[in-house]
Amino acid sequence: MSEYLGHFSVMLSECLDALELGARASGSMVFADLTFGAGGHTFALSDRVSGSTVFSTDQDPDALRNGEKMILARGKSEAVRLLPMNFQDFPDWCERHQMHGKFAGILMDLGVSSHQFDKMERGFSFRADAPLDMRMNYEDRSTGTAADLLNELPEKEIADILFAYGEERLSRKIAARIVELRQREKIATTGQIEDICFHAYPPKDRHGKTHPATRTFQALRIAVNAELTVLENTLPKLLPFLSDGGVLAVISFHSLEDRIVKHTFKEIVEKKDFPAIILTKKPLTATEEELSQNSRSRSAKLRLLQRVSQLGGVDGVKKKRHSEI
Ligand SMILES: C[S@@+](CC[C@H](N)C(=O)[O-])C[C@H]1O[C@@H](n2cnc3c(N)ncnc32)[C@H](O)[C@@H]1O
């Protein structure tokens, strides 16, 4: 029934422990999973905390269609509510539905799903030649594709994107070759960009562990979906909707995302608009056992923030929470 069957949910038990802790500390059984994907975290959470309601968002039409089928097949129409939206609109949705202080836990498992990555026509992967799309929400006509971006932006802006979002040291060379190519033909496929990246690298570096196109593809995907801006804008707006004791759990997959999560958590705690404590001084990472089953977990970092009612007595709470997780 599902194209999503082979999906592996990253750091699942760590996330469930953290969200369940939020439920115990707050007395609420309402959760949000802002990155539904294949529903792995959502359904596991719904099964683990009986009587709970999970509001899950995704912006990907495939994930939403598949999700609705799974909800029906599992008889979860009451317990799991799928909201089709970019999670940057979730705070407004909460505002409209008067969800202040309601959530025991909010989860974000950032980035693309294996389904998006493995479905070649989505254009996230250079493993096959396909249209260079990369929009998570491909039905949103207002968002340009990766091909649009490369056909339209000035060379310097392309180089800046590759450097800022991909940390690609050959960003200028690759951008120059993209602009050279687009003067002869339209940029349209993943194969064109893979070929440019491959030949931009010196021959001795072309067959290493990381393919020469990896950083460029990451950068384009982040730019097309404005991933970092959306994350930066959304994180601080979630706090009013957590209950006292509620936990915000974020899994990131590269240093750019993790830096935003780390700094935003710190700012939230320092600002004190909503008293909160950081439960993970260092981010949690996947166990060896998980790594042996799923190599993508290698780059995963899980950070946890807990809203608290008062700042007094935080240390005691913190120690207890650490040992519980
Ligand atoms: C890594 S997958 C999540 C996998 C999921 N936790 C599971 O176990 O099945 C990330 C999902 O989040 C979605 N996503 C990423 N950024 C989003 C955003 N800004 N708004 C809504 N959905 C987003 C993607 O479309 C993708 O389906």
Number of domains in the chain: 2
Query: Is 1 among the domain residues?
Result: no
Predicted pLDDT at 59: 98
Q: Do residue 96 and residue 21 come from a single domain?
A: yes
- With 70 as the cut, is the pLDDT of residue 319 above it? no
User: Whose alpha carbon is nearest atom 14 of ligand 1?
Assistant: 35
Predicted pLDDT at 7: 82
How confident is the model over 244-300, as pLDDT tens digits? 999 999 999 999 999 999 999 999 999 999 999 999 999 999 999 999 999 989 999
Q: Which range (12-21, 112-121, 276-285) has the least confidence?
A: 112-121
Query: Is 124 among the domain residues?
Result: no
Span from the CA of 63 to the centroid of ligand 1 (angstroms): 8
Among 202, 224, 246, identify where a domain stops: 224
How many whole angstroms separate alpha carbon 29 and alpha carbon 82? 17
Give helix 171-182 / helix 155-166 axis angle, nearest 10°. 140
3-class SS of residue 284: strand
- Give, as one character, the DSSP assignment of residue 34: S
- With 50 as the cut, is the pLDDT of residue 80 above it? yes
Q: Do residue 233 and residue 193 come from a single domain?
A: no
Q: Do residue 26 and residue 106 come from a single domain?
A: yes
User: Whose alpha carbon is nearest atom 25 of ligand 1?
Assistant: 60
What per-residue string of b and e applies to 170-190 under the rule 16 or more CB within 10 Å gives b?
Answer: bbbbbbbbbbebbeeeebbbb
- Runs of H (alpha helix) within the chain: 12-26, 40-48, 61-73, 90-96, 114-118, 146-152, 155-166, 171-182, 190-200, 214-224, 227-234, 255-271, 288-293, 314-324
Among 191, 208, 224, identify where a domain stops: 224
Predicted pLDDT at 3: 58
Q: Which amino acid does the sequence have at 109? A: D
CATH of residue 208's domain is 1.10.150.170
Query: Is 132 among the domain residues?
Result: no
Q: Which ligand 1 atom is the nearest neighbour of the CA of 36?
A: 5
Query: Is 134 among the domain residues?
Result: no
Q: Which ligand 1 atom is the nearest neighbour of the CA of 86?
A: 20
pTM: 0.94
How many whole angstroms separate alpha carbon 223 and alpha carbon 226? 5
- Give, as one character, the DSSP assignment of residue 179: H
Q: Do residue 303 and residue 243 come from a single domain?
A: yes
How many whole angstroms separate alpha carbon 66 and alpha carbon 300? 25
Q: Do residue 207 and residue 238 come from a single domain?
A: no
In the numeric block, which tokens belong to residue 158? Answer: 């392309």
How confident is the model over 126-153, as pLDDT tens digits? 999 999 999 999 999 999 999 999 999 9
Q: Do residue 234 and residue 220 come from a single domain?
A: no
Q: Do residue 232 and residue 306 come from a single domain?
A: yes
Structural domain boundaries enclosing 310: 12-115+228-324
Among 178, 193, 224, identify where a domain stops: 224
Work out the percent of the chain whose per-residue pLDDT is above 90.
Answer: 91
Q: Do residue 56 and residue 90 come from a single domain?
A: yes
